[in-house]
Amino acid sequence: MGNVQKRKDDLVRMKNNVPSVYYPAFLNIRDRRCVVIGGGEVALRKVRALLECGAQVTVISPAFHPTLVQLAEAGRITPIYREFEPGDLAGALIAITSTDVREVNQKVADEARDQGVLVNVVDSSEQSDFIIPSSLRRGGLSVAISTGGMSPALARKIRTKLEGIFGEEFALLLSVIADVRSALKLKGIVANADAWQKALDLDLLIGLVQAGQLEEARAALLSELGAQGGGKEGVRGAGSSLQKR
């Protein structure tokens, strides 16, 4: 009976420790108001990431990291040199709080939920509506890794490994693919998802891109997708219905 009870207790503990399941999404925050509470190194990293995405960033803190001061002086961010106060999140899409004072972070989280603002409390997934994954970017290609807040260190480790796999050549390849999609559209050719998967021979295409043979990579894609010569399976002409990809 003792072993049976122990297994039951273990199952209860496992159930209670099940992490939240997060819905993966990429947000368009261009020209949207985003508020960062905190003025240290962590806040600086968050601000830089938001600016890269075109956000209108407000930073609230009594003291600012020197680089945040420079960003404020350059007009890149809107600085508020004081503690967080009620009403500071008005009109914001998201809020990120990175202070080392739990009470302040909770105050921000509570107001964000009252205002319908998505909030991230750094290092506290329990207080957060969303978590920020470890990510890498190669031009228009973004790869994000998350452990659901269970181990940010593992997410960073995986990202570092992927950085060695996805080099800058993938940014060039993506540009080639975008060009091919535009060319197909002009020709009235619609390739479905299966046709694209077959055409995307990454070993061949990456090899061409790395060799600087971008036109050859473009031609290989167009040929495989039936834009040069006879049609291919999964590729339709101008009169066909568009299959979303």
Place of tokens 């339709």: 236
Place of tokens 């601000």: 47
Of 157, 168, 239, the closest CA to residue 206 belongs to 168
Q: Which two tokens stand for residue 118?
A: 């998505």
Q: What is the mean pLDDT of residues 150-179?
A: 95
Buried (b) or exposed (e) across 121-144, using 16+ Cβ within 10 A? bbeebebbbebbbbebebeeeebe
Q: Are 115 and 107 in contact (CB under 8 A)?
A: no
Q: What is the mean pLDDT of residues 161-180?
A: 95
Quick one: pLDDT band at residue 29, thresholds 50, 70, 90?
very high
Residues 6+ apart with CB under 8 A from 222: 180, 183, 184, 228
Of 88, 4, 8, 83, the closest CA to residue 39 belongs to 83
Tens digits of per-residue pLDDT, 93-150? 999 999 999 999 999 999 999 999 999 999 888 899 999 999 999 999 999 999 988 8
Tell whether the model's pLDDT for residue 240 goes beyond 60. Answer: no
Which range among 63-77, 98-112, 181-195, 225-239 shows the weakest confidence by mean pLDDT? Answer: 225-239
The reported pLDDT for the residue numbered 92 is: 98
Helix (H, G, I), strand (E, B) or coil at 163: helix
